[in-house]
Chains A and B, each alone.
Chain A
Amino acid sequence: MISTLGLYRPRDTPLHRAPAWLKVLLLIITTVVVLVTSDTVTSLGIMCAALLLLASTAPPLRVTMWTLVGTALIGLVSSTLFLWRGDYDRALDVTADLLTIVSLALAITTSTSMAEMLDFVAYAARPIRAVLPPETLGLMFALMLRALPEVARIYMESRQAARARGLDKSIRAVVFPTTTRTVGFALQLGQAIHARGIGEEFDASHEARDARDKKRTKKRTQASTRSRKAQQAPSRGTGPEGSEDIETRSSESTGEAMSTEEAFERLIAPRGKNDK
């Protein structure tokens, strides 16, 4: 299996020196331009420029050639309808557009380290920071790329193990161990991330916000408790519920602000026997 992941090689080329945001912007603009442009000569010109840009990053030859040949074949298959109609210009345009986009994507992969890409993803995700911390998104991106080859390795090992047991044609003998081992790998990886303290700096950056949230929540909780106490005051002493229970419930129902670490610890924390 040929993978374009991990193509990055540190070199001193103009594209290596360019910031990640500029390269991604170039890819987006070029993609829009080639999709809008239907002129074959222009498309071929842009394709040549993209190929030259890719060559300037000195990518690994074998992987690059296979990727480009595969893309050209996909382009030709996609253009079958145009070829059948005799619209050769359009067929050439579609194939050139595909090659342009893939060449630029490869050029970015070859010239941008994962750390740079991580920083870029974190930066680009800043507008949605209220929903998802940018650094968390960047880490998710890195973990996704990290998991792909690992899942492929687990699948290959499970297939070999099934063969060794004479279960060549059993889908279950491959799918079940692959699934359970993948989950096991994810758990191990999660523990390792936790142990390395990765992600906890994001909590630190949100410390001030958390403190504000906690202060507000505390005020709301106190107000809520006061109003409940006032409501239940006439029946106090006759019912089974004491004021302590009321306070406990009200703090739970207001959803007090919780850091990622607290949430994780609550998630994995052993529960008492009564919680089973």
Chain B
Amino acid sequence: MIEFKGASVVAPDTGVTILRPTTLTLAERHISIVGANGGGKSTLVRLINGLIPPTEGSVEVEGLNVAKHGAEVRRRVGFLFTDPSAQLIMPTAVEDVMLSLRRSVKNKDERTRAALAALEEMGLGERADVSVSALSGGQRQLLALAGVLAVTPSVLIADEPTTLLDLRWRAHVGALLRSLPVQLIEVTHDLDSASRAERTIVIDDGGIAFDGDPREAIQHYRDLMFGRAARQAPPE
């Protein structure tokens, strides 16, 4: 369970509020977060594993304060980024997954076996020794996911994981994410994927605009966006 206790984020240089004080409990297995670009979605989820520390308030994951137990929390919370290229470090697929396992599996042979098994689960078994630069965008995202899941986190945060993928990979990665036995918190612009969650949070202008049933949340989001677009349209 993840708890936000009045957590807020203020930009250090400009003093602009990126996320207003937020109190929230995330306990559902699949939660989607939608909202306009620059609204604060990514900031909200980055607070969960301490990538961004809150300016005020606190965030707790399974009872652990993220600010005090960052390393421990990151062992429980996996993070999947939009662009997998920035997440892959080693030259080949198997080596990249092995890097994730360095902390938990000390024996090299066991580490190799565990990495190969993780790749096999993602359907990348045959691409284990292929250079990461030779993989397609979808395969890279699966590899990044394999690297995250190899350390068996209990929570997975996916920050627009399918934005850079074509329709086929989008469906594949989306279905895979939903089938995982972890708590999934998905930031997305894909309203179809957002609607399949148990709960949807709409973030707008650094705060929670709606929190509840996915269908109602998406309708609220549409009204919010189209209403704003109508207001901002130049007069005829």
Contacts and interface: CB of A to CB of B under 8 A. Distances in A.
B86 A261 contact: no
B129 interface: yes
Interface in B152-204: none
Given A197-B75, A276-B13, A114 B90 contact: yes
Contacts of A265: 50, 53, 67, 70
B12 interface: yes
B15 interface: yes
A29 interface: no
B209 interface: no
Contacts of A273: 10, 15
Counting contact residues on chain A (CB < 8 A from B), the size range is 35 or more
B53 A192 contact: no
Nearest to A196: B100
Contacts of B99: 115, 142, 196, 198
A226 to B, nearest CB: 28
Contacts of A204: 71, 103
B38 interface: no
B210 interface: no
A33 to B, nearest CB: 31
A261 B89 contact: no
Interface string B71-100: 100110011010101111111100100111
Interface in A217-276: 261, 265, 268-273, 275-276
A155 B195 CA distance: 40
A197 B74 contact: yes
Interface string A1-32: 00001101110000000000000000000000
A209 interface: no
Contacts of A5: 91
Contact of B89 (A9, A143, A272): A143
Contact of B71 (A203, A269, A270): A203
In the A-B complex, list the 7 residue pairs whose CB atoms are closest, starting with the nearest.
Answer: A188-B86, A201-B103, A195-B79, A270-B12, A192-B87, A197-B74, A200-B71
Interface of A: 5-6, 8-10, 113-115, 119, 142-143, 145-146, 149-150, 185, 188-189, 191-198, 200-201, 203-204, 261, 265, 268-273, 275-276
Given A150-B85, A204-B71, 9 more contacts: A113-B92, A115-B99, A188-B86, A194-B74, A200-B71, A201-B103, A265-B53, A273-B15, A276-B12
